Amino acid sequence: MTTLTTGKAPISIWDAAHAVDARRPRSLQSELGASDTICSRRAGYIVAGAERTHVGDKKAAILGTYIHKGLLEDARREYGWLVERSVTDGVVRGHIDVVQLDAATAARLPKRHRPVEAAEVVTVEDVKTKSARVWDRVVRYGPTAAEMRQVLLYADLLRTVGFADVPGQRYLHRLGPVDVQRIRFRFVCRDTGEEEIQEFPFDEWLAMQARWWVDRVLEADSPEELRRDHDGPGLSAVCDNCPFRDACWEGAVPGAPVQTVLVHDDADRAKALADYVRAHEKFRESKRVKELARAMLDDSPEGNYGANHLGWGGGNDKEDTDLQALVEKFEDADLVVPMVPDKDAMVAILRRAGIVVPRRKVAGQKTVRSIKVTRAKKL
Ligand code: SF4
């Protein structure tokens, strides 16, 4: 049992993590990075050197950085992969997670810098960590448009300029432009460690679109000319954590949703209402189809069916705290039982003391049975 000897609350380890993160170059830079292309307007604020007025919750991103760093370093040591390499053309810059060289290109490097095994074709790879919450969506639908844009920009910079001329990679810079043929996403689930690889041939047309996107940002006279690519704080996690959200949604009345700034007149109201009605109708129909499918599957066993895996959760005996046993535990531990037993307070005391809280099954009651549909694993 832990005894507190001071009234001072222990410090949070996250304070240290946030302080270090705030000093990372990525958090300070004002140039446009390929990884900043998640929102046109946000990219515009970075290019304009706007003040960052909001610090979002960065815990998940920081955990992702730790995992990312560990995996890449181990891959470098074991496989000789080129990791964390800089590219720039003076306008856009980036750090490519992994570049896999083909045999012909690798042969142009000094022996000690060659990979253990050459790739079939030069491949630019991006490692992304994701939570279990979005994992099924990631394996089904792959990278987002912004993630794809980021990696296309990396590949395009390598194809047109090559590796940046910076200390630590001069031997790579001397290769000149590198003929990237493939891009690869390596998704890693932060909760389970599962790995999902998705590959695409390099597509010049898509790379041109990515460059076009950047050019629009650079040409804008002010960030406010640029599109908000997300729905705003409260509706989008990207906006919730955006350092420029105050400037982007300026004018909102305190206490009201920031999205109210998007309505200027009755025409805007009419459009929002029409969107609402259309969305509601689509939702109603989708809900009907979903409820019908759920009912049809109710007695089906778990397993793979076509492209999907059917699983079931819940449906277990319901439990609650056993008050009688709780009182006995208090007596055994020489703790004072309140005159009127207060279940919540007594549970809190037992937990603090490290004693198991007694539970009992609630006769005839089960937890809610829930359907779990995920993509069927490829055999
Ligand atoms: S708050 Fe959202 S829409 Fe505005 S710049 Fe940031 S990410 Fe883009």
For ligand 1, the distance from its centroid to the CA atom of residue 222, given in whole angstroms, is 14
H or E element that contains 186? strand 182-189
Q: Ligand 1 atom 2: the closest Cα is on which residue? A: 239
Ligand 1 pocket mutation, candidates 248, 259, 261, criterion most atoms within 8 A of CB: 248
For ligand 1, the distance from its centroid to the CA atom of residue 245, given in whole angstroms, is 6
The pLDDT score that the predictor gives to residue 314 is 87
Q: Is the CB of 217 under 6 A from ligand 1?
A: no
Q: Is the CB of 202 under 6 A from ligand 1?
A: no
Q: Ligand 1 atom 5: the closest Cα is on which residue? A: 42
Ligand 1 atom nearest the C-alpha of 233 is 1
The pLDDT score that the predictor gives to residue 30 is 55
For ligand 1, the distance from its centroid to the CA atom of residue 14, given in whole angstroms, is 25
* Angstrom distances, CA of residue 42 to CA of 149, 242, 263, 304: 15, 8, 21, 42
Whether 217 and 47 have beta carbons less than 8 Å apart is answered as yes
Which amino acid does the sequence have at 24?
Answer: R
**Tokens at 117, concatenated:** 């095994």
For ligand 1, the distance from its centroid to the CA atom of residue 231, given in whole angstroms, is 8
The pLDDT score that the predictor gives to residue 17 is 86
The pLDDT score that the predictor gives to residue 155 is 96
Torsion of CA 293, 299, 303, 309, to 10 degrees: 20
**Integer Cα distance of 130 and 63 in angstroms:** 10
Q: Is the CB of 46 under 6 A from ligand 1?
A: no
Q: Ligand 1 atom 3: the closest Cα is on which residue? A: 228
The pLDDT score that the predictor gives to residue 137 is 92
Q: Is the CB of 226 under 6 A from ligand 1?
A: no
Ligand 1 atom nearest the C-alpha of 245 is 1
Q: What are phi and psi of 358, to 5 degrees?
A: -70, 135
Task: Name the DSSP class of 99.
Answer: E
For ligand 1, the distance from its centroid to the CA atom of residue 43, given in whole angstroms, is 9
For 355, residues 6+ apart whose C-beta sits below 8 A from its C-beta are 329, 333
Q: Which residues of the chain have pLDDT under 50?
A: 1-5
Whether 129 and 137 have beta carbons less than 8 Å apart is answered as no
**Tokens at 335, concatenated:** 């703790």
Ligand 1 pocket mutation, candidates 144, 242, 262, criterion most atoms within 8 A of CB: 242
Ligand 1 atom nearest the C-alpha of 41 is 5
Q: Ligand 1 atom 4: the closest Cα is on which residue? A: 248
For ligand 1, the distance from its centroid to the CA atom of residue 223, given in whole angstroms, is 10
Q: Is the CB of 149 under 6 A from ligand 1?
A: no
For ligand 1, the distance from its centroid to the CA atom of residue 280, given in whole angstroms, is 26
Contacts 24+ apart (CB under 8 A), 299-308: 304/376, 304/377, 305/376, 306/376, 307/375, 307/376, 308/373, 308/374, 308/375, 308/376
**Integer Cα distance of 76 and 57 in angstroms:** 30
In DSSP terms, which residues pair with 82 in a beta bridge?
99
Please choose, from the candidates 2, 158, 189, 161, the residue with its C-alpha nearest in 3D space to the C-alpha of residue 82.
Answer: 158
**Integer Cα distance of 18 and 127 in angstroms:** 22
Ligand 1 pocket mutation, candidates 32, 225, 229, criterion most atoms within 8 A of CB: 229
For ligand 1, the distance from its centroid to the CA atom of residue 96, given in whole angstroms, is 24
The pLDDT score that the predictor gives to residue 337 is 76
